[in-house]
Amino acid sequence: MTTMTFTEFQQQSLAEGFDEALERVWSAGAHVPDHGHPFQVKALVVQGEMWLTVNGKTRHLTPGDPFELARDEPHAERYGPNGAVYWVARKAGSPPRHKVPHPAAA
């Protein structure tokens, strides 16, 4: 369980360079299939429970558990019988750069 307040989470996130922080509330049994976001995520579960699947690995998250996602990182979310609430900080940043092989390496 976290003793941090939303205001403290928000202030810390903005000091770390995130663009915004907000609270997300999910209904009981909600499921979000594989998707990605055009921003980096740092989050903290504050109520209920959820399962987060990234790269085929599922984590069960409860109050006090943090999670992070890279920009455009595919993931799925499933929420418990009482739903879930988490605080999330988002950072847009630049789109990922594609590596172009150096001509000498070809």
Residue whose pair of structure tokens reads 């879930």 in the numeric block: 84
Distance CA 104, CA 106 (A): 6
User: Which pLDDT does position 1 carry in this prediction?
Assistant: 54
What is the total count of domains within the chain? 1
User: Which pLDDT does position 3 carry in this prediction?
Assistant: 80
Q: Is the pLDDT of residue 100 over 50?
A: no
DSSP conformational letter for 59: E
Domain ranges, residue 49: 6-93
Is residue 99 assigned to a domain?
Answer: no
Continuous H helices in 1-106: 6-15
CATH number of residue 72's parent domain: 2.60.120.10
Is residue 103 assigned to a domain?
Answer: no
What pTM was computed for the model?
Answer: 0.83
Is residue 65 assigned to a domain?
Answer: yes
- Nearest to 90, CA basis, from 34, 25, 26, 42: 42
Residue whose pair of structure tokens reads 């915004």 in the numeric block: 20
Is residue 61 assigned to a domain?
Answer: yes
Is residue 43 assigned to a domain?
Answer: yes
Q: Is the pLDDT of residue 94 over 80?
A: no
Residue 46: helix, strand or coil by DSSP?
A: strand
Is residue 105 assigned to a domain?
Answer: no
pLDDT in tens, 17-61: 999 999 999 999 999 999 999 999 999 999 999 999 999 999 999
